Chains A and B, each alone.
Chain A
Amino acid sequence: MTTGKQLIKGNTAIVEAALDAGCRFYAGYPITPQNEIPETMSWRMPEEGGTFIQAESELISINMVFGASAAGARAMTTSSSPGISLMQEGISYMAGCELPAVLVNVMRGGPGLGNIAPSQSDYFQAVKPGHGDFHIITLAPHNISEMYDYTFDAFDLADKYRIPVMILADGLLGQLMENVELDRSRKPALLNAPKPWALTGASGRKGQRIVSLLMQPGALEKHNMDLNEKYNLIKKNETRHELAGMEKNPEYLIAAFGTCARISKGTMNIAADAGIKTGLFRPITLWPFPYEALKEAAKKVKKVFVFEMNLGQMVEDVRLAVGDDSKIEFYGRPGGGVPTAEELFEFIRGKVK
């Protein structure tokens, strides 16, 4: 090859990232549009000496990941929107038990069986998961390089904070094949970090437990407060975003994540040609959401355009960050609709006349 680039599908990039990060346990159940992940895992995982199990439901996938993680392994499962709904029970238990794991949601349209087209329908169930008072870290890639990089990073993040980390992709990013240069020389920093909490057999010690049931008066309240301290630490250390185009002092800001952010970059070019200067704010961590950074960026512009492939989910966090609803203009496409860069530009032009 004349370049170091290789053509790789988003779903496949996730598999390779997980294996490079030392993931040695995968359980998954078929659902479109993420089937390449379990299909590729079924032969790649054994090649790396790990365990692949085709689970019989998403409930089984997530609970297998619970078990593997409790036993100290780096573990992952992947699914798409309806399957993630089923996994919410297990995600809550893992949050309660402080078990690390990487979960991938290749989103499709909903509600219900919906369709299999790309969508950002699950922002809510990613950043406001399950029952109980907890958070998980959510990373939103917007190209194939990031499908690899964020998945790779997710394993260290999960271990560092003993927390489930979700990669929130969509059908477009899962199915898309791009030629990218992946940096596969990185070593996962925490792969060999000790996990004294893991269940490995009580060798030379008393038996220990991994539980989320805390019935003694005050015990759960204390646990929730401890978790909250951890969440505050994550907010402080791990909040990530991309801010583009601000050097040109734009009058308008676009806020979008994932596929919509990618399309919005095309919109910025079209707008620039038409003499409208825009910047882009792209949250990389959806939880923790980069409120402060967005607040600062929004101060410098007249309006914030929020684009999503849903009818308004992230916009709620944008409102909290910006603090001035009159500045916010939302445009969304639900049900598998993917906007074009031109379509988003037309919306902007209509509002700035």
Chain B
Amino acid sequence: MAEKIVYKKPDSLTDKIFSYCWGCGHSTVHKIIAELIDELGMREKTIAVAPVGCAVFAYDFWNFDTTEAAHGRAPVVATAIKRVHPGHLVFSYQGDGDLASIGMAEIIHTANRGENLTIIFINNTNYGMTGGQMAPTTLIGQKTTTSPAGRNIKQNGYPIKMSEMLAQFESVKYVERVKVTNAASVIKAKKAIKKGFLNQLNGTGFSFIEVLSACPANWRMEPLAAKAHIDGVISKYYPVGLIKDIK
């Protein structure tokens, strides 16, 4: 009797088991990206740029070509790769310390140039890999290892809303903020990333998908509580949904 395959690991994932912390959003987003690349038939024509941060090891899990960029520089590394291989699917995958702090100039100019790229921005409101320091995205009052009394507006200003800011650029075509806290939101996140990839493949231009992602280890929360924190607290400041969509 012929086997009927109802589910299998995507070809775009390696056999390596995700090594991220319990409840971390990276594994979920890595997996939906791999599924999408399989679905689009692009595994052999994809080049990804990994950031500095927890997701620097993305290339251990993705079975397509990947490079790593210096901290914050992923969008311009991706720009050059895309210019050299315009027919390939090229994306950068960056955390909030990488993209919103040290890489601010790179992301803004890449967006403003309207590069035909997809940027996946993982916002977990702190520097995960280095041990949970304050990021530009850290919420007001949020305690981190470098804001032990909580983020203070007077000293640190307000958390940066990257999606809303980038949506201001005329050459930015698509911006959506999603979260990965339950099955329904993961399906929505996957749809958004797919749209970002398709925009690139059909030449629409620059797409930016922000994913609110849990960091239970550094938030000092259990995984379920961390996801509930996104639903109940973080998404109040960073509302999920479509921000910009221009054909």
Contact = CB atoms under 8 A, between A and B. Distances in A.
Interface in B25-80: 43-47, 49-50, 56, 59, 62-70, 73, 76-80
B70 A89 contact: yes
Interface string A31-73: 0000000000000000000010101110110011111101111
B106 interface: yes
B88 interface: yes
13 contacts: A27-B80, A59-B105, A66-B70, A67-B76, A67-B78, A70-B77, A71-B84, A73-B84, A89-B70, A200-B47, A206-B14, A207-B12, A208-B66
Interface in A201-217: 201-204, 206-213
Nearest to A199: B65
Interface in B73-123: 73, 76-81, 83-85, 88, 105-106, 109
Contacts of B56: 213
A97 interface: yes
A209 B80 contact: no
A340 B94 CA distance: 53
A90 B73 contact: yes
A207 B59 contact: yes
Interface of A: 25, 27, 51, 53, 55-57, 59-60, 63-68, 70-73, 75, 89-90, 93, 97, 199-204, 206-213
Contacts of B68: 209-213
A203 B43 CA distance: 8
**Which of B44, B47, B78 is packed against the most chain A CB atoms within 10 Å?**
B47
Contacts of B46: 201-202
B83 A211 contact: no
Interface residues on B, range: 20 to 34
Nearest to A66: B77
Given A90-B70, A201-B44, A56 B105 contact: yes
**Which of B46, B70, B76 is packed against the most chain A CB atoms within 10 Å?**
B76
A93 B45 CA distance: 24
A95 to B, nearest CB: 12
Nearest to A51: B83
Given A25-B84, A68-B81, A55 B67 contact: no
A92 to B, nearest CB: 8
A64 B76 contact: yes
A197 B239 CA distance: 42
A67 B85 contact: no
Contacts of B88: 201
B80 A67 contact: yes
A202 B47 CA distance: 8
Given A68-B84, A202-B46, A202-B65, 18 more contacts: A51-B80, A56-B105, A66-B80, A68-B80, A70-B77, A70-B81, A72-B84, A73-B80, A199-B81, A204-B44, A206-B14, A207-B43, A207-B59, A209-B59, A209-B65, A210-B66, A211-B50, A212-B68
A217 to B, nearest CB: 16
Contacts of A213: 56, 68
B112 to A, nearest CB: 9
Contacts of B78: 67
Contacts of A55: 76
Given A25-B83, A207-B65, A67 B105 contact: no
B44 A203 contact: yes
Nearest to B44: A203
Contacts of B73: 59-60, 63, 66, 90
A199 B47 CA distance: 7
A208 B59 CA distance: 8
A225 to B, nearest CB: 21
For the complex of A and B, the 10 pairs showing the least CB-CB separation, nearest first, are A67-B80, A67-B77, A71-B84, A63-B73, A68-B80, A199-B65, A207-B64, A64-B80, A210-B67, A209-B59
**Which of A66, A72, A201 is packed against the most chain B CB atoms within 10 Å?**
A201
A59 B85 CA distance: 22
**Which of B56, B63, B65, B106 is packed against the most chain A CB atoms within 10 Å?**
B65
Contacts of B47: 71, 199-201
Contacts of A63: 69-70, 73, 76-77, 80, 106
B64 A202 contact: yes
A75 B44 CA distance: 24
B57 to A, nearest CB: 8
A73 B47 CA distance: 14
A65 B70 contact: no
A67 B12 CA distance: 22
B64 A51 contact: no
Contacts of A57: 105
